[in-house]
A and B are shown apart, each in its own frame.
Chain A
Amino acid sequence: MEAGAWFRPCLPNLILIRAKGRAVFIILFQQIVNGLIIGGIYALIAAGLTTIFGLMNVVNFAHGEFYMLGGMVAFLITQTLWSNYFFALAASITIVMVIGFLVEKILIKRLRATGVDLLVTGALVTIGVSIFFQNTSLLIFGSIPKLIPSPFSTEPFKIGPILVGRMYLFAAAVTVAVILLAHYSIKKTKLGMAMRATFQDKDVASLVGVNIDRVYSFTFTLGAGLAATAGALLGPIFVIYPNAGERVVLKAFVIVIMGGMGNFLGAILGGFLLGVTESLTSAYISAEYKDLIGFVIVLLILVFRPSGLFGKTKRI
């Protein structure tokens, strides 16, 4: 059992860099751009989770399924009703938000009423929901992977030597817009203030007349909608299949913790950070340990900055 087993995969990549000089910088920059693009998508999924997990303290394991349903429903719409992608995008987000609303109304609200510890029971109920959604969509949509017809040509968009798919740019643009919209609505609007009040102290919030049930259902629906947006945006880029959500959930939790609970901007920056780190690791260290990086970063953050990289340190 040689001790070097750990490092052997890195050697060829490191030698490669020294040899190629200038070309290396283009490749490095391309890798960073790759990281930013996938990071944007991570951010959107995490942004949805940061409202539910971060603000409502519900460990939402069904978040991946909202992402998958966003893609599946968008695919269904393009196949049947009206094949315009943008209509399908909007329609699937609304439908998944309705599903999120129902899940909150039927399950989470009842649990909250029993006053049981929401963190743990919330995790279990959402695991049940995730198993149910995953396998029902397997029944309805079948195991055949779906591809939403992309409204843009597959010709990559050229910025100097860097190549970026057109659909990616659209997805990144929508991501930033949606997140800023959500961030603005939480910071500035009345409902946003009510949300923040409820999650500071729900008893006091209800004392001052905030209908906390409405706030909870709006937060959950917003979270589901954000995840669905990511799913619908990724439909044309990556193929959507019933288990697509599983791989995404753990990454989203990692980012929410990195960005700071309930911190929208944190989720965005956390998503980009994880995207770039993973892309660089798999390019220059080794693909196998790509996911390891995410886990190690979270542990470091928990030790040194428990309120997240970008969160304010909470007073004890």
Chain B
Amino acid sequence: MKRVLVISTFFFFLAWIGLGRAAESIKIGLIYPLSGPIAYDGQSVVNGAKLATEEINKKGGLLRGRPIELVIEDGQGLPAVSVTAAEKLINRDKVVALMGCYRSSASLAVQAIAEKSKIPMMSVVSSAPKLTEGGFKYYFRNTPKEYMLVDVAARFLVTKLGIKKVSFLGPNDEWGRAGLEAWTEMMKKHGGQVVSADLFMTGETNYQPYLTKIKSINPDAMIVQSETLDGSMIFKQAKEMGLGMIKIGSGPMASQKFMELAKDASEGIYSILPWVHTYDTPENKAFTEAYAKRFPDRGIPDKYGAAGYDGIYVFADAITKAGKADRESIRKGMTMVEWKGLQGVIKFDAKGQSHPLAFITQNKGGIPIVMGYMETRE
């Protein structure tokens, strides 16, 4: 019995040394909704980030061999939960950078904590304008503000498709209200007009009252801002109710999951989004294949996957430029980032806002075809 004891302590000792010698990993904290109605899209962002991390670590990591380690927490997209998750990542896991929160309200809450704890934080999904107008030094965002995207879309609708009157349907949360404000302002700017607007509760199932109203108004086009889940139901019910007008959706309407859920109701729908897999550049093609291989149940990546992927590479670029992996140097590195990612060249302005590309696509036979793209401007 004694001999066994001696051998096991020996192995234990060996393992302990082994651990110590490997280069100390660079910990990046992720806070995304992994439960609740938007868990599906939250998981896509995390998948993109995992794929990027594995690729970087396979190529030997950063700063002479230090691997990136992702510490992932479920923020549920709720401010209270995301704040507690952030506290854990900052104080217990001692991460050097934060990426997160998906919903703008959660990002707004964690932004204040990150600033107080002097840790660099980047959002790749939250699009509420307020996030980069608060003068936060430690906050960066690699996704366009709502109205930057809508500006491109509105110009396309009015000039290319000659649309004047539009109806808006979106969720009753900060993303939906920011979208409504953006569309109202941008349509006016380009000579169009938003004739009716309805805000539904997220996760709702019955959209018929809103669609009936839109059908009665019969605008030139119908704008629907929603996640994959709500969007599939809205457009399915719109088809069932025979709404013929031009339909414009938000990013998720170009995702493969949306095509599966909405089936023939997804035909002809335009989308406005910061990234789409049919934008043929070598990086995109490589990413799409790698993502589909790594996550077979998910298949073709959507804009959330690309956002997570680009986010990690932006952090990697910042760390390499800064030469060190502590919080303060990464913050300095972020201001020097210039990275040709999936969403075009990523560079942060003084307020931490980047200007990725904006694509307009139309679904034809279940494939989102790129109709045009432009760099987003303030």
Binding site for B on A (CB under 8 A): 12-13, 16, 20, 23-24, 27, 30-31, 34-35, 37-38, 135, 138, 142-145, 147, 154, 156, 163, 165, 234, 237-239, 241-244, 246-247, 278-280, 282-283, 286-288, 290-291
| B298 nearest CB neighbor, chain A only | A144
Total residues of chain B contacting the partner, CB 8 A: 43
Please tell me which one of the listed residues B34, B37, B213, B264 contacts residue A241 in the complex, with CB atoms under 8 A apart.
Answer: B37
| Interface check B15, CB cutoff 8 A | no
Q: Mark B252-270, 1 if CB is under 8 A from A, else 0.
A: 0000010011011100000
| CB pair A30 B257 closer than 8 Å | no
Given contacts A239-B229, A279-B208, A287-B199, contact A143 B216 (CB under 8 A): no
| CB pair B205 A234 closer than 8 Å | yes
- How many A-B Cβ pairs are below 8 Å? 107
B residues near A37, Cβ cutoff 8 Å: 208
| Interface check B372, CB cutoff 8 A | no
Chain A nearest CB, measured from B137 CB (Å): 33
| Interface check B24, CB cutoff 8 A | no
| CB pair B240 A287 closer than 8 Å | no
B residues near A234, Cβ cutoff 8 Å: 205
| B44 nearest CB neighbor, chain A only | A143
A20 to B216, CA, bound (A): 9
Q: Mark B207-243, 1 if CB is under 8 A from A, else 0.
A: 0111011011100000000001100110011011110
Interface centre among A24, A247, A278 (most CB of B within 10 A): A247
Given contacts A282-B209, A288-B199, contact A145 B204 (CB under 8 A): no
A residues near B229, Cβ cutoff 8 Å: 145, 239, 241
| CB pair B204 A247 closer than 8 Å | yes
A31 to B203, CA, bound (A): 21
| CB pair A287 B172 closer than 8 Å | yes
| CB pair B205 A238 closer than 8 Å | yes
A to B CB contacts below 8 Å, 22 in the list: A13-B213, A27-B215, A34-B208, A38-B208, A135-B35, A142-B297, A143-B40, A144-B297, A145-B229, A147-B260, A154-B239, A154-B264, A156-B240, A163-B241, A238-B206, A239-B233, A241-B37, A243-B37, A279-B206, A287-B172, A288-B172, A291-B201
B residues near A27, Cβ cutoff 8 Å: 212-213, 215-216
Please tell me which one of the listed residues B209, B217, B236, B242 contacts residue A16 in the complex, with CB atoms under 8 A apart.
Answer: B217
B residues near A241, Cβ cutoff 8 Å: 37, 40, 229
Given contacts A23-B216, A163-B242, A288-B172, contact A145 B261 (CB under 8 A): yes
A residues near B228, Cβ cutoff 8 Å: 145
Given contacts A147-B261, A238-B233, contact A163 B240 (CB under 8 A): yes
| CB pair B35 A143 closer than 8 Å | yes
A residues near B203, Cβ cutoff 8 Å: 243-244, 246-247
| Interface check B136, CB cutoff 8 A | no
4 closest A-B pairs by CB? A143-B39, A238-B205, A34-B208, A282-B209
Chain B nearest CB, measured from A59 CB (Å): 22
B residues near A247, Cβ cutoff 8 Å: 201, 203-205
A71 to B278, CA, bound (A): 34
B residues near A239, Cβ cutoff 8 Å: 229, 232-233, 261
Chain B nearest CB, measured from A162 CB (Å): 10
A residues near B335, Cβ cutoff 8 Å: none
Q: Mark B181-218, 1 if CB is under 8 A from A, else 0.
A: 00000000000000010111101111011101101110
Chain A nearest CB, measured from B297 CB (Å): 7
| Interface check B320, CB cutoff 8 A | no
B residues near A278, Cβ cutoff 8 Å: 209
| Interface check B132, CB cutoff 8 A | no
| A281 nearest CB neighbor, chain B only | B209
| CB pair A283 B213 closer than 8 Å | yes
Q: Mark B76-97, 1 if CB is under 8 A from A, else 0.
A: 0000000000000000000000
B residues near A143, Cβ cutoff 8 Å: 34-35, 39-40, 42-43
Kindly list 14 other residue pairs between chains A and B, CB separation below 8 angstroms, not including A16-B216, A283-B209.
A27-B216, A37-B208, A144-B40, A145-B261, A147-B232, A154-B263, A154-B265, A156-B240, A238-B206, A247-B201, A279-B208, A288-B172, A288-B199, A290-B201
| Interface check B36, CB cutoff 8 A | yes
| CB pair B232 A287 closer than 8 Å | no
Given contacts A23-B216, A143-B34, contact A38 B240 (CB under 8 A): no
| CB pair A31 B240 closer than 8 Å | no
A residues near B172, Cβ cutoff 8 Å: 287-288
B residues near A242, Cβ cutoff 8 Å: 35, 39
| CB pair A34 B261 closer than 8 Å | no
Chain A nearest CB, measured from B54 CB (Å): 21
A34 to B205, CA, bound (A): 12
B residues near A147, Cβ cutoff 8 Å: 232, 260-261
| CB pair B35 A31 closer than 8 Å | no
A286 to B209, CA, bound (A): 11
A residues near B36, Cβ cutoff 8 Å: 243
| CB pair A154 B240 closer than 8 Å | yes
| CB pair A145 B213 closer than 8 Å | no
A178 to B79, CA, bound (A): 42
| B35 nearest CB neighbor, chain A only | A138
| A248 nearest CB neighbor, chain B only | B205
Q: Mark B353-375, 1 if CB is under 8 A from A, else 0.
A: 00000000000000000000000
A20 to B260, CA, bound (A): 38
B residues near A244, Cβ cutoff 8 Å: 203, 205
Please tell me which one of the listed residues A30, A138, A154, A287 contacts residue B198 in the complex, with CB atoms under 8 A apart.
Answer: A287
Chain B nearest CB, measured from A78 CB (Å): 15
B residues near A238, Cβ cutoff 8 Å: 205-206, 233
| A33 nearest CB neighbor, chain B only | B208
B residues near A163, Cβ cutoff 8 Å: 240-242
